[in-house]
Amino acid sequence: MSYTGPDLEPPQPRRSPLRRPLTVALAVLVPGALLGWGVYAATGGGGGTGAAPAAPASTAAASPAADRDDAKESGAGRPLAGKVVLVDPGHNPENYRHTTEINRQVDIGTHRKECDTTGTATDDGYAEAAFTLDVARRLRTLLQEQGATVRLTQDGDRPYGPCVDERARIGNEAKADAAISIHADGAGAGQRGFHVILPGPVHAGAADTRPIVASSRALGERVADRFAGVTGSAPADYLGDGTGLVTRTDLGGLNLSTVPKVFLECGNMRDSKDAALLTSGAWRQKAAQGISEGIVSFLRG
């Protein structure tokens, strides 16, 4: 935008010899245009009030295609523009109030198991479900800043669950480019560290992980590397042979997934030193940052 200072006057336009004929022509045309607009509005062409037509209301549940379109528009120019990430906060803070519902058996392909569990807690009573939801929300913010569309399986908005089979289905229906389930372990005191759980090859019933085993491992390796780098935590010293990577075939959230997915056990809530980290808001922010960097690294290739 140009600016005219206080001691300067803008240049005056030269008068055109055609100015008078143009003025007369406009004097003739404008009343006719105004009359035409009045007829248009009176017959409903202007929406009845002369206001611009209202935009259509959004649907309650966006489709996967809509998720991707939103991601492309809102994240243009950012590394995860057009990507969809499924974040699954393990358990639910209200599960303990609904023991009948969460004990219901569901099919995970290889066998049947409980819909969900209450999860573990620190010795001081800080629940795993509260931890996972907090980290998930922090992670969502970080991923959205990178341009991703983020879907949570629950956001403290459900009375319990969802069940493990539904958690997988939410990621599948979203056609997520990456999915991660956030947890904290309940191992014995003195056992420390994080580990990432990878899906093993399963082909039974509704479960077929064969197409996602390799991509899930790649995701898990990136997450483990960046989680360790950002948080300073070491891989678990009680399983995984010091790699921080464990393969399992008994988890419904992995068995039923058709998109690259891993579980992350961020630490051991039953160990006092790990618990001190897990209960720290500053450390949880580091955890979210490490997970985010791992996902970004995986999705950028």
Positions marked active-site: 265
Q: Is the peptide bond before 10 cis (omega within 30 degrees of 0)?
A: no
Q: How far apart are CA 2 and CA 4, in angstroms?
A: 7
Closest CA to 194 of 251, 244, 249: 244
Buried b (16+ CB within 10 A) or exposed e, 60-77: eeeeeeebbeebeeebee
Count the Cβ atoms, other than its own, within 10 Å of residue 211. 12
